[in-house]
Amino acid sequence: MNVQPSQTVKGKDRYKSGVMEYRKMGYWEPDYEPKDTDVIACFRVTPQDGVDPIEASAAVAGESSTATWTVVWTDRLTATEKYRAKCYRVDPVPGTEGQYFAYIAYDLDLFEPGSISNLTASIIGNVFGFKPLKALRLEDMRLPLAYVKTFQGPATGIVVERERLDKFGRPLLGATVKPKLGLSGRNYGRVVYEALKGGLDFTKDDENINSQPFMHWRERFLYCMEAVAKAEAATGEIKGTYLNVTAATMEDMYERAEFAKELGSCIVMIDLVIGYTAIQSMAKWARRNDMILHLHRAGHSTYTRQKAHGVSFRVIAKWMRLAGVDHIHAGTVVGKLEGDPATTRGYYDICREDFNPMRLEHGVFFDQPWASLNKLMPVASGGIHAGQMHQLLDLLGEDVVLQFGGGTIGHPAGIAAGATANRVALEAMIFARNAGRDYVNEGPTILAEAARSCTPLRQALDVWGDVTFNYASTDQLDFVPTPSVAG
Ligand SMILES: O=C(COP(=O)(O)O)[C@H](O)[C@H](O)COP(=O)(O)O
Ligand SMILES: [Mg+2]
């Protein structure tokens, strides 16, 4: 592919009525140097057959900022050179035919401060349906410091969460109550009590538990908080249960969250499907009310999982850190759901670092400052069990919630035994790590040693020790971008 110089039409020809290619309208500017205050997006563009990649990329810049399909004279009433997004670099995706990484810079004034809805209405607004493109994926974004500063960020943050829970030096342990649907409030509360008493720090509602005929929300909240209080009394530890306040309206969500607070809960939960504005509203509520806010990423795989089309989860993670949730499901690598190790590592870094350096090997395309926004606790959940503890600690680190739903509740000796197995496995692994042992390679031995004096752990290893989910990932990093060939 040849380098194409700027083709922006200058002078009065630029505003002559009619259709003009996007690259001629000023949306392809290979000499443009992004400003520190620009928002930058990297898209994976798959043009239709016969469509020039530079023109396709310029069109993405145009349609996600100021352009329409034809020249409009009203551009001249604005500072159009400033407001036009500029595609300044296009690289072929190495090893993949017909796909290109397009880098686009947006002036900060195009965005309302502190609004994910406004940001996304531009960046992923119309452009994903644009006919000359076969597919489009938002791979990553660089959010400038000046913009990051306009967001609240995580309501509580990892440091304060640990202080409130009085738990340090190890991952937190949780479990999703199963079955997902159908339990009555009283039976549900029993699961919560058993799991917390057995050694977990948290239990949680599943993404689709709201207020159904078999258990209305108040019933669930009452039984769950009774279970938390009893488990705290029995163990002397602080416990929590993520009460899912997801509902049809903001008013309903506030009502549920207020009730959770009234009952003494330290945490509430929402689902990603409630939408960006609702998430930001709940984050502000959580900050005002000293609550931890857990986000389940329900629905994300509909647009994050396919490499060629949609939005990478690393971008969703960035948006959610800005939006202000405290927990986010970010993948397990070894569990039942999609999670390439290198890609997942990138997500975890986005949640937990104060500054993300560009790390192409983890899919992170840009340096990203976080301006001291609180850190976001990643949550690993989905088909994990005690036999993987060494791998989980190695892959995911210490600031993470490990959630074993089936891997607690499905234990042959019952829920409390399942929780104990997980707690003992975790503490044995942390102890081995802190004692300087090679816990990754010796992991199975360390677990077997611990299981000698812990029957629940032995039973868990007997049942699940060999369970793995080995499938090809659909969202692997297939590239280390080479220097630009067009820009
Ligand atoms: O119910 C579960 C896990 O249950 P279990 O522990 O029984 O498998 C969660 O909804 C998923 O993990 C979400 O996935 P993700 O965390 O990837 O968003
Ligand atoms: Mg679930």
pLDDT tens digits for 359-398? Answer: 999 999 999 999 999 999 999 999 999 999 999 999 999 9
pLDDT in tens, 326-350: 999 999 988 887 788 899 999 999 9
For residue 253, which of 222, 231, 230, 284 has the smallest C-alpha distance?
284
Query: Cβ distance 67 to 462 under 8 Å?
Result: no
Ligand 1 touching residue 207 (CB < 6 A): yes
Ligand 1 proximity of 339 Cβ (cutoff 6 Å): no
Tokens coding 90? 């296009």
- The crossing angle, in degrees rounded to 10, of helices 250-262 and 217-235 is 30
Are 386 and 457 a contacting pair, CB within 8 Å?
yes
Cβ neighbours of residue 203 under 8 Å, at least 6 residues apart? 174, 175, 176, 177, 191, 192, 195, 196, 224, 241, 242
Rg (CA), the chain: 25
Q: How confident is the model at residue 239 (pLDDT cuts 50, 70, 90)?
A: very high
* Mean pLDDT score, 443-447: 97
Distance of alpha carbon 26 from alpha carbon 11, whole angstroms: 12
Residue list for the binding site for Mg(2+): 204, 206-207
Q: Which ligand is nearest to the CA of 174?
A: 1
Feature table: binding site for substrate: 126, 176, 180, 297, 329, 381
Contact 30, 89 (CB under 8 A): yes
Average pLDDT over residues 158-184: 97
Per-residue confidence (pLDDT) for residue 480, from 0 to 100: 53
The CATH code of domain 157-186+260-464 reads 3.20.20.110
Separation between Cα atoms, residue 63 and residue 120, nearest integer Å: 13
The three-state secondary structure class of 416 is helix
Decide whether any atom of ligand 1 lies within 6 Å of the 204 Cβ. Answer: no
The fold for domain 25-148 equals Alpha-Beta Plaits (3.30.70)
Q: In 218-345, at which residue ranges do the beta strands (DSSP E only) sit?
A: 240-244, 267-271, 292-296, 310-311, 327-329
Q: Which of 54-58, 233-237, 471-475 has the lowest mean pLDDT?
A: 471-475
CA distance 264 to 222: 10
Q: What is the ipTM of this complex?
A: 0.96
pLDDT digits 0-9 by tens, 249-292: 999 999 999 999 999 999 999 999 999 999 999 999 999 999 99
Q: What is the pLDDT of residues 70-97, one digit of tens each?
A: 999 999 999 999 999 999 999 999 989 9
Looking at the CA of residue 406, tell me the nearest atom of ligand 1. Answer: 7
What is the spatial distance between Cα 239 and Cα 198, in angstroms, rounded to a whole number?
11
Question: Which residue spans of the chain are classified as CATH 3.30.70.150?
Answer: 25-148
Section 420-434 average pLDDT: 98
Q: What spacing in Å lies between the alpha carbon of 296 and ligand 2's midpoint?
A: 8
Q: Given this model, what pLDDT does residue 479 score? A: 61
Percent of the chain with pLDDT over 90: 91
Beta-carbon contacts of 465 under 8 Å, excluding residues fewer than 6 positions away, are 387
Q: Where in the chain is the domain with CATH 3.20.20.110?
A: 157-186+260-464
Encode pLDDT of 32-66 as tens digits. 999 999 999 999 999 999 999 999 999 999 999 99
pLDDT value of residue 484: 44
- Which of these, 138, 144, 102, lies nearest to 123 by C-alpha position? 138
Residue 336 to residue 322: CA distance in whole angstroms = 28
Across 175-185, average pLDDT: 97
486 pLDDT above the threshold of 50: no
Is residue 485 pLDDT above 70, yes or no? no
Query: Would the pTM count as exceeding 0.90?
Result: yes
